[in-house]
Amino acid sequence: MKIVVCIKQVPATGADKRYTDDLRLDRASAEAIINPLDEYAIEQALRLADDGVADVITYLTMGPESASEALRRALAMGGDDAVLVSDPGLAGSDEWVTARVLAAALDRLAPDVALMGMASDDARGSLVPGAVAAMRDVPLLSYGAELRVAGNEARVRRLSSDGFDWIAAPLPVVASLTDQVGEPRYASLKGIMAAKRKPLETWTLADLGLSAAELHGGALTRVTGARPPEAKPPAERVENVTPTEAAARIADWMAARKLI
């Protein structure tokens, strides 16, 4: 059984994030990490390996040269090898191009299960897993809060409007996971040392048989503006008063805004 975990490198949560003048993410300004939700997917892959279900775990990312750092960090947690898809033609890529390139790389890697996070931290579109599944014409098991792989089938537990469903499909599948699956492990010192010797390949678009032309120059969409969010005036504060007094002040505040 072969598993590929798709991971994305993103700016650290809460880090000072800026856009450059040409409206790209200023990667120099923020510490880069593995998209936190992708770490949950990595953990699930490693548990399948621990349980003897998975034989090979490969990490796949599309990004700049520096994204190989994220792959090394993943390899330090465990797993076997990694692939970075990097190409000048991919700068400024959007969700469609990302999905197209990952789908092409997955066609080549041919995993039984392609695992992804439910969303990336920076854009939170949650579109890549479904788009990749559609492009590869394989089932999508999305928003999995629990993952089981056995025999020729994978299933995820997915929240429904009031309870949950188990969604099942024959392999191969694309599955996206939530943070309910279980906390990711830390890399051990031994793991970090071992990761340095694990194979990491870099593929270009040409290696995947893709051309910049068929990728519409790298994106179907473009960012046309970036600005800071509307500044909020500092909160009005109610402090050092009894609960009754606080309640009266809140009610007045609500009444003044016609909220009651």
Partner 1 sequence: MSTNDILFLAEFDAGQATRSALELAAGAAALAAQSGGEAVALAYGPGAADGAAGLGAHGAARCVVLGDERRPAVVHAPAATAVAREGALALLAPATPNGRDLAAALVGSLGLPAFGPVRAVRLVDGTLETEQATLQGAVITTSRPNEGAPSPSVVLVLANTFTPIEGGTGSAAVSTAPTDDGESGLARATIAESQPAEATVVNLEEATVIVAGGRGVGSQEGFGVLQELADVLGGAVGASRAAADAGWVPYQLQIGQTGKVVKPSLYIAVGISGAIQHRVGMQSAEHVIAINRDPDAPIGEFADLFVVGDLFGVVPALTDELRRRRGE
Ligand X SMILES: Nc1ncnc2c1ncn2[C@@H]1O[C@H](COP(=O)(O)O)[C@@H](O)[C@H]1O
Binding site for ligand FAD (CB under 6 A): 36-37, 179
| Secondary structure in 3-state letters for 86-127 | CCHHHCCCCHHHHHHHHHHHHHHHCCCEEEEECCCCCCCCCC
Shortest spacing between CB 207 and partner 1, in angstroms: 21
Binding mask 69-108 for partner 1 (x = CB under 8 A): -------------------------xxx--xx--x-----
Site for ligand X in 108-147 (CB under 6 A): 116-117, 119-120, 123-129
Shortest spacing between CB 122 and ligand X, in angstroms: 8
Contact call for residue 77 and ligand X (CB under 6 A): no
Q: Which listed option, ligand FAD, partner 1, ligand X, none, makes contact with residue 20 (CB within 5 to 8 Å by class)?
A: none
Q: Which listed option, ligand FAD, ligand X, partner 1, none, makes contact with residue 38 (CB within 5 to 8 Å by class)?
A: ligand X
Contact call for residue 22 and partner 1 (CB under 8 A): no
How far is the C-alpha of 25 from the C-alpha of 29, rounded, in Å?
9
Taking CB under 8 A as the criterion, the residue among 49, 113, 155, 205 binding partner 1 is 155
How far is the C-alpha of 213 from the C-alpha of 100, rounded, in Å?
13
Buried b (16+ CB within 10 A) or exposed e, 105-144: bbeebebbbbbbbbbbbeeeebbbbbbbbebbebbbbbbb
Site for partner 1 in 101-120 (CB under 8 A): 103, 118-119
Q: Which listed option, ligand X, ligand FAD, partner 1, none, makes contact with residue 187 (CB within 5 to 8 Å by class)?
A: none
Structure tokens at 193: 């040392």
In the complex with ligand FAD, which residue's Cβ is closer, 106 or 181?
Answer: 181
Tokens 């997955």 — which residue? 106
Shortest spacing between CB 24 and ligand FAD, in angstroms: 24
Among left, alpha and beta (phi > 0; psi -120 to 50; other), residue 144 is beta
Tokens 């996206």 — which residue? 176
How far is the C-alpha of 102 from the C-alpha of 234, rounded, in Å?
44
Shortest spacing between CB 186 and partner 1, in angstroms: 19
Contact call for residue 141 and partner 1 (CB under 8 A): yes
